[in-house]
Amino acid sequence: MKKNTMLRISLVVLVLIIIGWGVILYQLFAVKSKSDYYGNVYEKEVPDFTLTDQNGSKVSLSDFRDKLVFIFFGYAHCPDICPVTLSALNGAVRQLGDEQDEVQVLFVTIDPERDDQKALKNYVPYFNKSFIGLTGTPEEIKQVADSFGVYYVKEETDSADDYYMGHTSSVYLLDKDGKIIMRYPQSKMEPGQIAADLKKIL
Looking at residue 11, its pLDDT comes to 53
At 103, is the pLDDT very low, low, confident or very high (cuts 50, 70, 90)? very high
Domain assignments of the chain as residue spans, ordered by start: 1-36, 40-201
133 to 93, 109, 178: CA distances (angstroms): 16, 7, 18
> At a CB cut-off of 8 Å and minimum separation 6, what does 78 contact?
164, 165
Looking at residue 12, its pLDDT comes to 44
What value does the mean pLDDT take over residues 50-66?
Answer: 97
Give SS3 for 89.
helix
- State percent of the chain over pLDDT 70: 82
What value does the mean pLDDT take over residues 101-107?
Answer: 98
182 to 34, 110, 125, 197: CA distances (angstroms): 10, 21, 24, 10
pLDDT at 3 over 80: no
CB distance 105 to 140 below 8 Å: no
pLDDT one-digit tens code per residue, 65-86:
999 999 999 999 999 999 999 9
| Gap between the Cα atoms of 51 and 82, Å rounded | 20
At 27, is the pLDDT very low, low, confident or very high (cuts 50, 70, 90)? very low
Q: Fill in the DSSP letter of residue 70.
A: E
| Gap between the Cα atoms of 160 and 20, Å rounded | 64
> At a CB cut-off of 8 Å and minimum separation 6, what does 94 contact?
100, 128, 191
Looking at residue 4, its pLDDT comes to 53
Looking at residue 18, its pLDDT comes to 54
pLDDT at 89 over 80: yes
pLDDT at 24 over 80: no
Q: What is the dihedral of CA 55, 58, 61, 62, to 10 degrees?
A: -120
pLDDT one-digit tens code per residue, 122-131:
999 999 999 9
| Gap between the Cα atoms of 120 and 172, Å rounded | 20
Of the listed ranges 20-29, 123-132, 146-155, 183-192, the least confidently predicted one is 20-29
pLDDT at 19 over 80: no
Fold designation for 40-201 = Glutaredoxin (3.40.30)
